[in-house]
A and B are shown apart, each in its own frame.
Chain A
Amino acid sequence: MLLEIRLFATFRHRRFKTKQMELPVGFLLGNLLKKLDISIKNVGILLVNGKHSDKETRLIDGDVVAIFPVVGGG
C-alpha cells in the first residue's frame, strides 16, 4: 500500500518534509515510527488523515500520516 508521511518541526531535521512510502497493508503506526527512527516518547501528536491516533493504529492504503513532536503555542 502507498502512504504519505508528513513530518513537522524538529522531526524534519535530517529526515524529510513529505514522502510517499510503500508498506505492507495493516502496518502498525508504531513500527513506522521505528522505521523513521523516531522515539515514541518524543512524539506529541500522531495523526492519520487528521484523526488523533496511536502506535497501535494499523495503516491502510492511501493514509496520510502526520507526525509532530510535543509542541504548544497559542
Chain B
Amino acid sequence: MSGYSGTILRVNLSTSEIKKEELDSKLALKYVGGRGLGTYFIAKEVDPKADALSGANKLIFATGPLTGSKAPTGGRYMVVTKSPLSGTIASSNSGGFFGAELKKAGYDLIIFEGKSEKPCYLSIKDDQVELRDASACWGKKVSQATDLLTEASGDPKSRVAVIGPAGEKLSLIASIMNEKYRAAGRSGVGAVMGSKNLKAVVVRGTGSVESADEEKTKTVIKDILAKIKENPVTSTGLPTYGTAVLVNVINETGIYPTKNFQEAYTPSADQVSGETLAEKYLVKKTACFRCPIACGRRCQIDGVEGEGPEYETLWAYSADCGVYDLPSVIKANNLCNEYGLDTISAGATIACAMELVEKGHIKDDELDGTPLEFGSSEAIIEWTRKMGEGEGLGAKMAQGSYRFAESYGAAELSMSVKKLELPAYDPRGVQGYGLNCATTNRGGCHVRGYLISPEILSLPEGIDRNSIEGKSAWVKAFQDLTGVIDSLGMCLFTSFAIGADEYTSIFNAIVGQDWTTEKLMQAGDRIWNIERQFNLAAGIDPDQDKLPKRILEEAIPEGPSKGQASKLGEILGQYYADRGWTEAGIPTPEKLAELELA
C-alpha cells in the first residue's frame, strides 16, 4: 500500500533486540497513522496503569502515510506514549525533517520498549539499524549532542532527535528536540525517553515515499498549493510574523493571560509582539520539510542564533510572568531548546512559582538569592537554567506547575488541566476553546481543537466567542479533524487554508483509497475515542474534564473581556451527548461498536 512503508521497527532496550515487523495494512487504515496508529499500539501494549517512567511504558515515534511524501508540509511525526506528567495518553507532534527522514529510511513507526542499562542511542541508515553507546553525548545539551551525533554518523545529512539534560534528569516537562530547534514539546515525552536511557535517534533515509496515483497526486497538490497561496494566513500572516503575530490579537481581545492568569490584558504586549520580534531580531524565516508556508523564525541575540520564540513561548515567558523584555524572553526560549524543556510548561511553571512567592507560599531561603517575582527578567532566565540543570528549587519546578504548587498545598494555583499547563488564551473569554481545553485527551492543550480560529480570528467564519450555542458540535468537529491531520503527517497550519475535503483527496491520491470525507472524519472520531478509553482505563475520570478553579469560579477582572466567566458547566453535557457518550462522559457500547472499537 502506498504512503506507508509497511514496516515497524521494534527496539527492546532491555535486551537490545531489534526486530522489523510488517505493518498490518488494515490496521494502518483503521487508525490512519501517526497519532492514531501510535495510540493504538500504546493502548494495546501498555498497561494504562503502568508507571510512565518504568520499563513497562513504551515510546513510539510515529509517522503518517503522508510523512515524507510529496504532500505540502508532509514532514510531521508524533511521539506517542503514556505521559508521566498527566498520566494520560500523550502524543506530541514535531516538524522539521526528522519524520520525513525516518519514513524515507523505510519505517512507519519505531516502538521502543523496556529500558537500557546504559545511555544509548539508535542509529538508522536505511535498513542498517543498531543501538550504540551514548556515553560521549550523555549530559550534553541539545545542540552539542546533535552536532556530536551527526558527526559520529559520518553523514551530515543525518537527522537527529535528542533529549537534553532535562529529559535525562526526568523532568516531567522535558521535550524531544529534532534538528536542534523543533520540539515534540508537550506532556513530558522527553522524560520517558530519558527514563529508558535513550539519548537520541539518528536517522538517514535514502528511499522515497511513492504515491498510488502520481497524476492524481500532482493535481491535488496543485490545488492545495493554490489554496495555501490564496489564503492570507498561510501566504502572508504566518510567513511574515510567524505564530507570534497572535500576541496583539489575543491581548486586544482581552484573553491574554497575564501573571499566571490573574489578569487577561496588558498594555505592554507590543513590546514582546510578533511585529517587534520581526522588526528587531528576525534573521530569516525557516521552513520544515516540503513546507511552502515557512512560519519558523531564526532570531539572533548577543550573537547567538536560535529558532523561535513561537507565540505560546512568547506568552509563557512574557505576559504570564509579567516580563516585557524581549531579549530575555528570547534567551529563555533558547535555554529551553538547549535543555530540552517544553517552553509552555516551563514558562507557565515559573509564572505559577511567581504567584506562589507573591502569595507567601515560597519562603526567601528556598530561592538561593535568585529573584522569583513577577516582572523579573533575571528570574525567567535563571529559573529556566535551574530547571534544566535540576538545581535547587529548580529540580522541583521541573516536575511541572501542578506538582510544584501541590507541594505547597496550593495546587489550585497551577493553571493546568489534567496537570498539563494551559496555553496562551484565557478560556473565560472563549467558550468553545474552554470546552476543548477541558476535554482534550492530553490535558491543557490548544492544538487538539483550535477553536480560537473561528471564535477570535473569524476563520473559516466568525462565531460569537461568548456564546455556547452550537459550540460543542464545533469542538467535536475540530477535534476529530485535528486527529486526522495529526495522523496523516501534515502540519496543522495547513488547516487555515484547506479543509476535510482536501485532506481526504490527498490521502486518497497518495494511499490509493477512495474514502469519503465522512469516512476520514470518522477515523478522527475513532482516534479521539481510543484515546479516551485509554485515559479512562488509566484512572483519568471524566471529573477531570474541567478547568482550573480560578477559571471556573472567577470572572475576568479587567480589560476588554472584563466580567466574562466560564460556561463550561452549561455545555459539557451537550458535548458528551454530541460525542455519543453517556451523561457521565463514558463512550457507550453502541458508539464503540460504531467505531469498531468494541
Contacts and interface: CB of A to CB of B under 8 A. Distances in A.
B195 interface: no
Contact of A74 (B243, B462, B560, B561): B243
B253 A50 contact: yes
Interface in A1-29: 6, 8-10, 12, 17
Given A72-B233, A72-B457, A6 B493 contact: no
Given A6-B252, A50-B252, A70-B237, A45 B561 contact: no
B246 A71 contact: yes
B39 to A, nearest CB: 22
Interface string B231-268: 11110111011111110110011100000000001000
Contacts of A72: 233-234, 237-238, 245-246, 453, 457, 459, 493, 496
Given A44-B457, A45-B456, A52-B462, A73 B252 contact: no
Given A50-B559, A52-B462, A74 B450 contact: yes
Nearest to A66: B252
B447 A69 contact: no
B240 A74 contact: no
Contact of A42 (B232, B274, B456, B465): B232
A38 interface: no
A31 interface: no
Nearest to B235: A70
Given A9-B241, A68-B248, A72-B237, A44 B446 contact: no
B194 to A, nearest CB: 28
A8 B453 contact: no
Contacts of A12: 275
A44 B560 CA distance: 18
A58 interface: no
A51 B275 CA distance: 22
Contacts, number: 98
Contact of B274 (A9, A47, A50): A9
Interface in A38-56: 42, 44-45, 47, 49-52
A66 B453 CA distance: 18
> Mostly helix, strand, loop or mixed at chain B's interface?
helix
B581 interface: no
Interface residues of A, number: 22
Contacts of A73: 237-238, 242-246, 274, 295, 311
A12 to B, nearest CB: 7
B452 interface: yes
Interface of A: 6, 8-10, 12, 17, 42, 44-45, 47, 49-52, 66, 68-74
Interface of B: 231-234, 236-238, 240-246, 248-249, 252-254, 265, 270, 274-275, 295, 311-312, 446-447, 450, 452-453, 456-459, 462, 464-465, 492-493, 496, 559-561
Task: List 3 tightest A-B contacts by C-beta distance, closest first.
Answer: A50-B560, A73-B243, A72-B233
17 contacts: A8-B252, A9-B248, A10-B240, A44-B458, A50-B561, A52-B464, A68-B249, A68-B252, A70-B232, A71-B233, A71-B249, A72-B234, A72-B459, A73-B242, A73-B295, A74-B447, A74-B450
Given A71-B245, A72-B233, A74-B452, 13 more contacts: A8-B275, A9-B241, A10-B236, A44-B459, A70-B232, A70-B236, A71-B232, A71-B233, A71-B457, A72-B453, A73-B243, A73-B311, A74-B311
